[in-house]
């Protein structure tokens, strides 16, 4: 997929890892991340989230933009508990909204228009968790024309609670950049989930 994506961009194509290398890296991550795929208690998830929580203006802007490790480190914007149906039972569950400084900087708005993209498809974390995405698009020039790319802003570990990711986008844009985000129109395009952004 990545080979096809960058087929017209030789400078990017040479950085695409081989399939075997990607599979080995996934296995390495599964082996080395302590409890990465074994969080089975609310307390464990809450403790993990509390160490990475970023919810105020000063802590968000304290990161050095030249420090790529810090800019790409996972930060947690929200963690929430809720009830979910498992068969005929209602059981407690938990979710988190995660991102990285590098992603959040992309939704700093310099004018009044924001294009948000979420298409109802998911990414799978190496631990087996479903990640719901929310982001924007960029259009960049290449030697042969233009390329459109998805630029992620936020990921959430709960597929059916999409409203949480949109409310986080709105509240954090206000908190970090003093910008009020409101969705004025949407293109549903095969995904009913996008409609919840308008609520």
Summarised one tens digit per residue, pLDDT across range 74-92 is 889 888 887 777 788 888 7
Residue 187 has pLDDT above 70, yes or no: no
Cβ–Cβ < 8 Å for 12, 6? yes
Which residues pair with residue 130 across a beta bridge?
Answer: 124
Specify the higher pLDDT residue, 128 or 16. Answer: 16
Residue 46 has pLDDT above 80, yes or no: yes
pLDDT in tens, 134-176: 777 777 787 888 887 777 778 776 655 667 777 888 888 888 8
Residue 120 has pLDDT above 70, yes or no: no
Cβ–Cβ < 8 Å for 187, 154? no
Cβ–Cβ < 8 Å for 63, 75? no
Cβ–Cβ < 8 Å for 168, 96? no
Q: What is the mean pLDDT of the chain?
A: 72
Tokens of 74: 């996972």
End-to-end CA distance of the chain: 35
Predicted local confidence at residue 164, as pLDDT: 75
Residue 119 has pLDDT above 70, yes or no: no
Whether the pTM exceeds 0.85: the reply is no
Residue 185 pLDDT level (bands cut at 50, 70, 90): low
């Amino acid at each position: 997929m990545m080979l096809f994506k960058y087929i017209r961009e030789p400078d990017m194509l040479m950085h695409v890892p081989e399939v075997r290398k990607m599979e080995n890296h996934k296995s390495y991550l599964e082996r080395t991340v302590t409890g990465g795929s074994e969080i089975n208690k609310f307390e464990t998830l809450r403790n993990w989230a509390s160490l990475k929580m970023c919810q105020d203006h000063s802590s968000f802007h304290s990161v050095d933009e030249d420090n790529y490790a810090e800019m790409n480190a996972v930060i947690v914007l929200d963690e929430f508990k809720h009830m979910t149906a498992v068969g005929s039972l209602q059981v407690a569950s938990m979710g988190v909204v995660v991102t990285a400084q590098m992603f959040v900087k992309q939704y700093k708005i310099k004018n009044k228009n924001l294009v948000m993209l979420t298409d109802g498809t998911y990414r799978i974390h190496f631990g087996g968790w479903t990640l719901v995405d929310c982001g924007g698009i960029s259009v960049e020039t290449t030697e042969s024309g233009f390329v459109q790319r998805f630029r992620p802003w936020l990921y959430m570990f709960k597929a059916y609670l999409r409203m949480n990711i949109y409310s986080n986008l709105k509240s954090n844009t206000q908190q970090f950049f003093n910008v009020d985000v409101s969705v004025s129109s949407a293109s549903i395009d095969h995904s009913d989930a996008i409609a919840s952004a308008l609520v």
